[in-house]
Amino acid sequence: MARTNRLLLLACGAALLAIVPGTRAPAEEKGKAAQDLDRTPIDCVQMSSIARKTAIDNKTILFSMKGNKFLRVDLPGACPSLTPGQTQLIFITADASAGKLAKLCSRDSFGVEHKPGSGCQLAKFNPVTPDEASQLLATAGVK
């Protein structure tokens, strides 16, 4: 009888943990965050919302946005001047009448500072989770 009561108590405790907000297991929360992320590609972002940009390799750039959001850009082709960990990117807008660059769009291009003739085409911005961003930065050797 005592064993049955302990098992019942354990089952009730597990059920309560499952329904009480904020008590989910960390792995379950990570999975939920990935499911809740809207992965619709974005055409343009505000320059003022970009906190950091980092080359993962010569075909991928990770944009760390303000508010702990991350966007991955998979370039349409390799950009030879882009090296893993590179952060000194210079953006060139496709809309020359815009003056100061306020928005960065998939049709824009970029170069690498101190590397003349290094223009490469951007692509759509794809939202990724903070965990995915950390994995990407680790592959580029960035902490």
Asked if 55 and 31 sit in the same domain, the reply is no
Asked if 53 and 72 sit in the same domain, the reply is yes
Q: What's the DSSP call for residue 96?
A: G
Percentages (nearest 5) of helix, strand, coil residues in the chain: 30, 30, 35
Average pLDDT (93-97) is: 60
3-class SS at 56? Answer: strand
For residues 46 and 141, the model is more confident at: 46
Asked if 20 and 54 sit in the same domain, the reply is no
Asked if 76 and 123 sit in the same domain, the reply is yes
**Residue-number span of the structural domain to which 97 is assigned:** 44-139
Average pLDDT (29-51) is: 83
Asked if 89 and 28 sit in the same domain, the reply is no
* CA distance readout (Å), 44 to 10, 39, 86, 125, 143: 51, 14, 22, 7, 27
Average pLDDT (65-74) is: 97
pLDDT on residue 18: 46
Asked if 52 and 99 sit in the same domain, the reply is yes
Q: Label residue 105 by pLDDT band (50, 70, 90).
A: very high
Asked if 70 and 135 sit in the same domain, the reply is yes
What value does the mean pLDDT of the chain take? 79
For residue range 42-69, what is the model confidence (pLDDT) as tens digits? Answer: 999 999 999 999 999 999 999 999 999 9
Asked if 20 and 72 sit in the same domain, the reply is no
Asked if 83 and 135 sit in the same domain, the reply is yes
Predicted structure pTM score: 0.72
Q: What angle do CA 68, 132, 120 make, to 5 degrees?
A: 85
